Amino acid sequence: MPSTMFRTSFKFLVLLLSICNIAVAQAEVLDALVPRQSPSAAAAASPICQNYARVANLSTVGLNSTYRAAFLRSSNLGTFDARAILDVESPKLMGMMMDVQLNQQCGNLSQIAMDGAAANLTAGTVLGLPIADAPGIAVDAVAMPIVQVSIFLIFCGTWLSL
C-alpha cells in the first residue's frame, strides 16, 4: 500500500512541476516579445521608418551585383522596369544612413536589410521572389563541346583566310 501512495504522490509532484515549468516558460516568452530589431512598436509602424526600410531593402539589392542579378533575372517586370525600381532608391540610402535622428527613431534598418538580403539569398529568394535559374547552356551539357568546336573552327577559318 505505501508504494501505491508513493506513486500517486510522485505523479502529483511531477504534474505540479510540469505545470509550473510551462507557466514559467510562458512568462519568459511573453517578456521576450518585443518589436523585432526596433526601438518601439510605434516607431516601426511610422511611415518614415517604413520608407527607410523600403529604401534600405531596395538599395541593398540594387547596390550588390549578386542580389541585383538575381532580382533582374527573377522579376516578371522585365529588365528595364526592374532596374528602374532599384536605381531610383539607391541614391537615397546614404542620406538616410547618416541621419542620426532617423537611426535613433527606427534603428539601423540598413544593417537589418543587409543581413536579411544575405539570409534570403541563402534561402533562394530575393525581395520576396524565388530566384529563377539563369538561361543558357549548362557547362556539363552535350551541346557545350559542339559550340566550342564550332567557334574554334570559325575563328581558325577566319584567321587562315587572311
Q: What are phi and psi of 126, to 5 degrees?
A: -145, 120
Domain count, the chain: 1
Residue 38 pLDDT more than 50?
no
Lowest mean pLDDT among 22-31, 85-94, 111-120: 22-31
User: What's the predicted TM-score (pTM) here?
Assistant: 0.58
pLDDT of residue 102: 87
151 assigned to some structural domain: no
Those residues with Cβ within 8 angstroms of residue 43's Cβ, 6 or more apart along the chain or in another chain: 49, 105, 106, 107
**Grid cell locating 19:** 505545470
Q: Which domain holds residue 115?
A: 41-130
pLDDT of residue 155: 93
50 assigned to some structural domain: yes
36 assigned to some structural domain: no
pLDDT of residue 150: 94
Q: What are phi and psi of 136, to 5 degrees?
A: 135, -175
